[in-house]
Structure 1
Amino acid sequence: MAQPKPLTPSVEAVVSRMRGLDAALPARDGVAVFNRVYLAVTEEVERRLRAGAFPDPGAATALDVRFAERYLAAVDAVADDRRPPACWRPLFQFRRHPGVRPLQFALAGINAHIGHDLALAVVDTCRALGCEPAELEDEFDRVGELLVALEERIREDLMPGPDLLQIADPLTHLLGSWSLERARDATWSAARALWALRRFEDLAEEFTERLDAAVGLAGRMLLTPLPD
């Protein structure tokens, strides 16, 4: 559960790194699909920070940057031929699979980032700011609201074929098996549990590993190759 090495000093720098990835990756690459989604979220966070929409902009910035660092660290691990966390492995393994649709890549990345990274980012931020998770709840909720709204847009933009899929379509089943809102609620509980366990390193490490594995399993199911 160690905090990753700081990669970026600001939300603006995070946005710059994601734009660089967007320019470098093939458009159909699964990581590129997720990166575009996450870039849109981070650009909106940056815009709202500048507009004064967060009650505590310092805490919101700290949480957003530490959250992004988890994803960027996974990208760098793969680039360096190191293993990323289990939650990210399915996306990197299936990123070029022709049977996986763009919507699946987007949701699998969101699953990894929300289900695992966000809980650890809350703990990272609490340690950095010397605060309790409850003091970050407003910032957590505002970022979560942005993500939920974006998920709806993602489903509209990346949904293949007609707007309403037939109930027998396998993608319909996959979409119904995962909810960002439920994942966000579970993440807040996980963050509070990890904070409570921070003085019990063995238990905290075991909890983190199990969370990572469980989120990775959900991601693997989301990336089930589907027929055309």
Structure 2
Amino acid sequence: MNMKQATTIEEVIQFLDEIIETSKLEQCAIGLFTTLYREVTLQIKHGIENGLFEDSERMEKIDVIFANRYLKAYYQFKTKEKPSECWEFSFTKGEEYWPIVAQHLLLGINAHVNLDLGIACAQVSTPESIFDLHSDYNKINEILSNLVEGVEKCLVEIWPTLTYILKLSGKIDNFFIDFSMKTARDGAWKYATEFVLLPENQREASIQERDIKVTKIARLVSNPGYFVSSIFKLIRLFEKGTVAQKIIELGKVEYLPTTKTIITPECVLQS
């Protein structure tokens, strides 16, 4: 299996499509996050084409570097090489039965935002120029927030009993709406501003240290305690369709304005 790396945003979408199709064939839940990530990438591409960003060339460069970190981790995992700890944990859970769709999405978001995003931003910047990126960086938050309501609608289609179960438990606010994606991305931005200051010979150690923190968050998402885990298992039993059908359903996500989020407190890394 070739270690594919993109050079354009069109290639990013092409390679994500290939992973999605492979995941459908293999009935592998890795394709769930990949499907959501593809839609985010597509909206960024539209933003670049429509002049949303102050520096479109820089934004595409960030997008490609960001995506290549995911692609590298995916192909390392598939070829039995060692990706970062947080991606290895996420991909391993993608091959297991019990995680619900939302957990698969959160594990991918956790690894890609909390680890990869800050690194990608720093790699296109210098200590003097990184704050020139902040305005365009914040525009990504708008794109993400406009996808959330559509994602929630898809999740309800996959497990129709979700709303009833959460209301019955009295925990609905604790599961999906406590923190916004903006909060998670603020943590990634803080890391970017710190990472860009590091000399080259200290960067790998910083990435490894960050990876450990992000993996701890992943473990909380995967095992949030007996009570919550029990509810998640009940939800899992009532999820509709095969993994491939869930990937297809998630691929129907609509781009809608919203202020909600599916990010949980455990998925936010502030520093």
TM-score range, shorter chain: 0.7 to 0.9
Report which of the two structures shows the higher radius of gyration computed on alpha carbons. 2
**2:130 equivalent among 113, 117, 133:** 133
Question: What letter matches 1:87 in structure 2?
Answer: C
Who is 1:227 aligned against?
Answer: 233
How far apart, CA to CA, are the structure 1 residues paired with 2:59 and 2:104? 27
**Identity in percent:** 22
Give the conservation status (yes or no) of the 8 Å contact 2:33–2:108: yes
Who is 1:153 aligned against?
Answer: 150
Who is 1:7 aligned against?
Answer: 5
CA RMSD of aligned residues (A): 2.5
How far apart, CA to CA, are the structure 2 residues paired with 1:73 and 1:170? 37
Who is 1:76 aligned against?
Answer: 75
TM-score where L is the length of structure 2: 0.73
Who is 2:249 aligned against?
Answer: none
Q: 1:176, CA displacement in angstroms? A: 5.6
Q: Deviations over 1:101-122 (max 9, x none)?
A: 1111011101110001000001
Which ranges of 4 or more aligned residues in structure 1 deviate by more than 4 Å? 169-174, 176-179
Who is 1:166 aligned against?
Answer: 167
Who is 1:212 aligned against?
Answer: 211
**CA spacing shift, 1:155–1:118, aligned 2, 3 Å:** same
Residue 142 (str. 1) matches residue 162 (str. 2): no
Q: Structure 2: state its 5+ residue gaps.
A: 224-228, 235-271
Q: Deviations over 1:193-223 (max 9, x none)?
A: 11122x2633x33332121111111122212
Q: 1:62-211 alignment to 2 at 5 Å?
A: 62-126=61-125, 132-159=129-156, 160=159, 161-163=161-163, 165-166=166-167, 168=169, 173-175=174-176, 179-197=180-198, 199=199, 201-202=201-202, 204-211=203-210
Question: What letter matches 2:163 in structure 1?
Answer: D
Q: 1:65, CA displacement in angstroms? A: 0.8
TM-score where L is the length of structure 1: 0.85
Give the conservation status (yes or no) of the 8 Å contact 1:49–1:57: yes
Give the conservation status (yes or no) of the 8 Å contact 1:116–1:187: yes
Q: 1:70, CA displacement in angstroms? A: 0.8
How far apart, CA to CA, are the structure 1 residues paired with 2:7 and 2:114? 24
